């Protein structure tokens, strides 16, 4: 079974990173906390009001930082996934 995100949505596999030095640690504050994930698949692009498709920048394999409460969460088998809009992604993580 494959999930093909629609328009400007991306399918993300969240990464539960060990809190080792150099990794991203999310402080326990009132501030919105970001989270890491990997792009499994991306939609064909955002559709403008006028019907034009603007391709996404994010692509399969990109590792991203995103706002923790962004998107819609679900499981396939025992794996957690998220679908969010590309605009919910904050940065690309280059290792």
Q: Is 72 exposed, middle or buried (0-12, 13-18, 19+ CB in 10 A)?
A: exposed
Is there binding between residue 17 and a second copy (CB under 8 A)?
no
Binding mask 21-50 for a second copy (x = CB under 8 A): xxxxxxx-x-xxxx-----------xxxxx
**DSSP characters for 57-72?**
S--TT-EEEEETT-SE
Distance of alpha carbon 81 from alpha carbon 40, whole angstroms: 9
Is there binding between residue 73 and a second copy (CB under 8 A)?
yes
Which residues would be at the binding site for a second copy (CB under 8 A)?
Answer: 1-7, 9, 11, 21-27, 29, 31-34, 46-52, 54, 57-58, 64-65, 67, 69, 72-78, 80, 83, 86-87, 89-95
């Amino acid at each position: 079974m494959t999930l093909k995100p629609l328009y400007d949505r991306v399918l993300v596999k969240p990464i539960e990173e060990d809190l080792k030095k150099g990794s991203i640690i999310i402080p326990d504050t009132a501030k919105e906390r970001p989270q890491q994930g990997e792009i499994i698949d991306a939609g064909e692009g955002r559709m403008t009001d006028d019907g034009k498709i603007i391709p996404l920048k994010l692509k399969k394999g990109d590792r991203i930082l995103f706002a923790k409460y962004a998107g819609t969460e679900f499981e396939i088998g025992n794996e957690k996934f998220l679908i969010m809009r590309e605009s919910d992604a904050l940065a690309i993580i280059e290792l």
